[in-house]
Amino acid sequence: QKEVEQNSGPLSVPEGAIASLNCTYSDRGSQSFFWYRQYSGKSPELIMSIYSNGDKEDGRFTAQLNKASQYVSLLIRDSQPSDSATYLCAVVDNAGNMLTFGGGTRLMVKP
């Protein structure tokens, strides 16, 4: 059973701070990694994808991947109250066919 683990939170940060969200996965052969944001009662939306080790930046978001340690993280700089949501980590298996989601981390950004 492939597993993707996230701390359920809530993670509370003040407005303007950096929010750090972490995810670990069990399938060493995993090849693709995604971060989705889900507002309460809404469907998930993709905010970042990362495929190789290192950092990938997109605006206020930075995804970090370390395949040797089997973890992927998401940094949100200058956090805003509108960033308050549940963040889902998703990992594609070695064959490229199965996508497994973590349970999500609830982020709360306080004004």
Partner 1 sequence: EAQVTQNPRYLITVTGKKLTVTCSQNMNHEYMSWYRQDPGLGLRQIYYSMNVEVTDKGDVPEGYKVSRKEKRNFPLILESPSPNQTSLYFCASSHATSQSSYNEQFFGPGTRLTVL
Q: Which residues of the chain form contacts with partner 1 (CB under 8 A)?
A: 8, 31-32, 34, 42-46, 49, 88, 90, 92, 96-104
Query: Is-contact 1 16, C-beta < 8 A?
Result: no
Pick 10 or 16: Cβ nearer partner 1:
10
Pick 15 or 45: Cβ nearer partner 1:
45
CA distance 26 to 41: 29
Cβ 56 to partner 1, closest distance in Å? 14
Around Cβ 82, how many Cβ atoms within 10 Å? 8
Around Cβ 60, how many Cβ atoms within 10 Å? 14
Tell me which residue has tokens 């290192």: 54
Pick 13 or 33: Cβ nearer partner 1:
33
Cβ 75 to partner 1, closest distance in Å? 20
